[in-house]
Chains A and B, each alone.
Chain A
Amino acid sequence: MRLDVSDLACQRSGRPVLEGVSFTLDGGEALGLRGPNGSGKSTLLRVLAGLLPRSRGAVTLDGIPLGRDHDAYAERIAYAGHLDAIKPQLTVAENLAFWGALFGSPDIAPALAAFDLGAIAARPAHACSAGQKRRLGLARLALAPNRPLWLLDEPTVSLDGPACALLFSAIRAHCARGGAAIIATHVPLDVGSARDLTLAPVVAASPGTAGHHDPFLEGLAP
C-alpha cells in the first residue's frame, strides 16, 4: 500500500482551506495529522476519501489516481469521520451486522471484541453513551479488514483511557498487517512509530485579491 499526495489544494465555499499539501505514506505507517482548529485536517481526510473535490493537486493510492476509478479507489479506504453513522433505532449488533453485510464480513464477533462492545451488543444504539457510540462507529473499521488505508477524523473524541488503548492497538495491528492510517487528532498517538504532519491554517490573500467584493461595504468606506 502506498499513498502519494502532491501539491493538494482544496477550497470550501470559495475559501482556500488546504494549500500545497504533499506527503507520501507507505504500508505499515501511521501518520498523525495535527494543526489548530480550522487548519483543514477534516477537509484533507474527506478529500483523500473522495468525499470532497480538490481544486488542485494529485492523489494516488496504490497507483490508482483519485477521481479516475472511484470503485477501485474507494474499496481501499476505510473512513471514520466526526459522525458515527449509527442508527439509534437499531441495536449495537444490528448496526454492525448491516455494515458487515455491506463490506463482506458477515461475522461481527471480531469487531465487537476489538472495541469491547460484546456486553452492550443487544442494547439499542440510542441508549448508548457518546463514548460507546464512538466505539461502535470505530468498530466498523474492523469489518473491512482488506481496506488498507484508514482515515480517522479525531477518533479519540469521547473515548476513555481503556477505549483509546483499544483504538491504538487496533491501529497498531492494522499497520502490522501492512495497512496505513492517517489520524487527525490533538492527543499523543500511542501507535508505535507515528509520523506527524502539521497543517497550518491557510492565510487567504488580502480581501481585495481573493475575489470577494462587497460593493455595498466599499460604498460605505470613506
Chain B
Amino acid sequence: MKTASAVLGRELRLALRSGGGAGLGLSFFLIVVLLVPFGTGPDPERLRAIAPGTLWLAALLACQLSLDRLFQTDYEDGTLDILSLSPLPLEGLVALKALAHWLTTGLPLVIVAPVLAITLNLPGDAFAWLMASLALGTPGLSFLGAIGGAVTVGLRRGGLLLSVLVLPLYIPTLIFGARAVASAAEGTDPMPALTLLAGLTLFILALAPFAAAAALRINLR
C-alpha cells in the first residue's frame, strides 16, 4: 500500500511539474473541439448532430497524446531497471502509471467537456450523460494506452507507431461512449450504451496491466 502510494504520488508529481505534460491533453482537447465549427460551419443544427462524436473523438486523441512518455522516460533513465528489481510487481506498476495518466489526462477532460459541449450546441439534457460516459470510458483509454506504451518502449520515435497501434483499440470505447451521448441528445435511453461502455472499461482494466507488463518484460531484455 505504501509502495503504491509512493509510485502514484511520484507519477502525479512528475506529471504536474514543469515539462510533465499534464496540461497538454487538455489544451489539445480544447483546441480541437473549438476548431470543429470553423470546418463545418456554424449552423447550430449541424453542430448539434456532430457534437457527441466530435467530443468523444477529440477526447480520444487527447488521451493518447502523452502516452509515449508513459514508460519511455523511465526506460531511458534506467528507472525501469531498478523498478524491475523492486518488490513492486510490474503489473502493479502498469496499473498505477495508467491510473496516474488518467488522473492527469482523462479526468480534466471529463470536467471541461460540458463547457465545450455548449460551443457545439449539445442539448442540456445530455451534459450529465456526456460527463458520465467520459468518466466511464477514459480510464479504459489510459489502460489500453499503457499496452501501447509498453510495446513501443524501447523504440526511438515510438510515439507515432504507438498511435497507430492504440487508436484501433479505442474503437469499441468510442462507439459506445459516443452512442450514449447521442442517445441522450436524441431523447432516447442512453443506459444500454453506457452499461456496455462500463463493462468494456472493466474488461480493459482487468486485462491491460497483465498485457502491458508482459510487453515490458520482453522489452526490458
Contact = CB atoms under 8 A, between A and B. Distances in A.
Interface of A: 49-53, 71, 74-75, 77-79, 81-87, 89-90, 94, 97-99, 101-104, 106, 140
Contact of A74 (B6, B79, B85, B221): B85
B87 A79 contact: no
Contacts of A89: 13-14, 17-20
B77 A102 contact: no
A102 B89 CA distance: 11
B14 A103 contact: no
Contacts of A106: 2
A104 B10 CA distance: 16
Given A86-B77, A87-B14, A90-B10, A102 B88 contact: yes
B20 A98 contact: no
Contacts of A99: 82
B186 interface: no
Contacts of A85: 77-79, 81-82
A52 B82 contact: no
B82 A87 contact: no
Nearest to A106: B2
B27 interface: no
A140 B82 contact: yes
B220 interface: yes
Nearest to B87: A75
Interface in B31-88: 76-79, 81-88
B13 A51 contact: no
B30 interface: no
Which range holds the interface residue count of chain B?
A: 20 to 34
B85 A102 contact: no
**Chain A interface SS verdict (over half):** loop
B85 A98 contact: no
Nearest to B16: A89
8 contacts: A49-B81, A50-B85, A51-B220, A83-B77, A86-B77, A90-B17, A103-B87, A106-B2
Contacts of B88: 102
Interface in B164-221: 220-221
Nearest to B5: A101
A98 B82 contact: no
Given A71-B87, A75-B87, A89-B17, A98 B6 contact: yes
Contact of A102 (B6, B76, B78, B220): B6
Nearest to A79: B85
Contact of B7 (A49, A74, A102): A102
A146 B127 CA distance: 55
Given A75-B87, A102-B87, A102-B88, A81 B81 contact: yes
A51 B81 contact: yes
A18 to B, nearest CB: 15
Contacts of B17: 89-90
Contacts of A78: 85
B84 A102 contact: no
Given A51-B220, A89-B14, A77 B85 contact: yes
Contacts of B77: 83-87
A177 B5 CA distance: 31
A53 B217 CA distance: 11
A97 B6 CA distance: 9
Q: Which of A50, A71, A78, A98 has the most CB of B within 10 A?
A: A98
